[in-house]
Structure 1
């Protein structure tokens, strides 16, 4: 029983305890003496005090019963796909049965494919990373949210576009399928965030701008990474999200821009508000700079009233 408890982060079910030889009287005494505490019906923590996150996950899995695994945002947090576990524990159980009664603080999902999608060895038991990503995509209310899960999996090196595409191909139904299929191709080309994806599609492709080199590694006195580089025209585009561009990150950005200017490169820097709310304006600025640096192509309008064609006139 000690090994079982250790493997389940200090949590055990009544059925497990009895199977290990614990009598009902001993179990009752441990609860009354507060050596153990009840978490859910028939599930106990073998210690006093607050429950750590992993213990709460195990308690939810044991309460949900045979075949249950952590899933959705809970599995994402366990695997490092996100930094916030959310307010509830998510578990998925095999679709052939139903969990009786409400479980406080737990949301139960059902999936017929669970035997194929659960990870074979990880503890607490959970879905595979690719399946977790697709579960979260399927429940996303906005396409930008779905983009975030896919790009996070690749950016944090928890999965690859190919593995995600393979998992997607095995699903008969999923929300945002067309968008995700296209996005996986973009991620494979080097776009590592929703901001970069938006720039690739709505700024560069939609307006006929030249294709930039994404996530380009430049070695010198120190290695730097360029979000979008147009080396032939000595233009660099930096796409600043919220993470990594404050404090020390902001100083590194300024230092990088200064070095680029010394070397004769121009740097354009955009954030979410620029690329998501005014992609045409961003494209117009880029087109002007590209034309001034020798690009001979012609930008195109993406819609009626788009300001880009005018900026390409000589």
Structure 2
């Protein structure tokens, strides 16, 4: 049986931990496995996995599921990748539960969690947030890109982590350079560079190369036009076809830049130029789709291969 004072201490602990406690925590408060079994049989608590107990019988919320998955994975496990970033505050990105364990100790998967083993086990890469061990934000950003389901998702989570202020572009780039022997290393390095180093100019150079590959007409770059609010700087422009392409780095998503971009695009559209907008991360991960749109726009304006 669990006395009233111990039950209250457990309740306070569970309140700080999304409604769950580990069996080790319970034991340190004087609640052994027989007492836990009695509470579970009585319908007051619920056991989850081998090491975790909920002080209720409702479904676990996502935060509790992360805690239980961490406890079930073993003493050395840490939340990793996008899962770590979600604990740090990442919004609108879900990639399941990822955990990092030292090689070759493995770790137990629970509720679909994915265990990643690493020889590069560095305690300086880890932090504790709300009692949860997890990888540091810049480390987690790169590892989230490693684990992502597609190149597009990898680029997206890197950009989101920086845009939402969880890590600086420079810190992510530095961490990306540490990455070794991973199939996505070239993409991760390129995206980290785009985010940290003025992606605009780099995106324009890539765009010109893609035009040559598809045998499209050579555009002018960094053209200056005059609009209702003064000078307008165009990234890419075909004067003969009245077509503008704006190569947009991550900084374009900030509210101030989004307003300026809209005003500039409206000025150009009123002047009868067509405007296509291509995120530099889109140019990295879906070049064929975006360049096909550019080719269709040029053809609609009168260009043909023969010309």
Matching residue within 45, 52, 68 for 1:43: 52
- The match for 1:163 is 171
Unaligned runs of 5+ in 1: 221-225, 241-251, 290-306
What SS does the corresponding residue of 1:154 show, helix, strand or coil? Answer: helix
Are residue 129 (structure 1) and residue 137 (structure 2) matched?
Answer: yes
Query: Residues 8-157 of structure 1: matches in 2 within 5 Å?
Result: 8-81=17-90, 83-86=92-95, 88-95=96-103, 97-99=105-107, 103-112=110-119, 113-121=121-129, 123-140=131-148, 142-157=150-165
Among 203, 206, 220, the residue aligned to 2:207 = 203
Distance verdict in 2 for CA 1:120–1:49, change over 3 Å? closer
- TM-score scaled by structure 2? 0.67
Contact (CA 8 Å) 2:77, 2:107: kept in 1 or not? no
Partner-residue secondary structure (3-state), 2:133: coil
SS at match of 2:75: coil
User: Number of residues paired by the alignment?
Assistant: 268
C-alpha RMSD over aligned residues? 4.4
Secondary structure class of the residue paired with 2:175: helix
For residues 172 and 33 of structure 2, the distance between their equivalents in structure 1, rounded to whole angstroms, comes to 47
Three-state SS of the structure 2 residue aligned to 1:119 is: strand
Q: Please say if 1:279 is aligned against 2:286.
A: no
Give, in angstroms, the shift of residue 61 of structure 1: 0.9
CA shift for structure 1 position 283: 6.9
Residues 59 and 168 (structure 1 numbering): CA distance in 2 closer, same or farther, change over 3 Å?
Answer: same
Deviations 1:4-62 (A, max 9, x none): 32332221121220111124443222211221101111311111211110001111111
Q: For residues 124-158 of structure 1, give each alpha carbon's deviation from its aligned partner in whole angstroms, at most 9, with x where no partner exists.
A: 33212222222233234643343223223233332
2-structure distance, mates of 1:93, 1:123? 18
SS at match of 2:44: coil
TM-score (norm 1): 0.66
CA contact (8 A) 2:69 2:111 kept: no
8 Å Cα contact 2:138-2:167 kept in structure 1: yes
Give the aligned partner of residue 187 of structure 2: 179
Measure the CA separation in 1 of the matches of 2:193 and 2:87.
27
What do residues 111-135 of structure 1 show as CA deviations (whole Å, max 9, x unaligned)? 2325232224455332122222222
Decide which structure has greater helix share: 2
Measure, in 2, the Cα distance between the counterparts of 1:254 and 1:182.
27
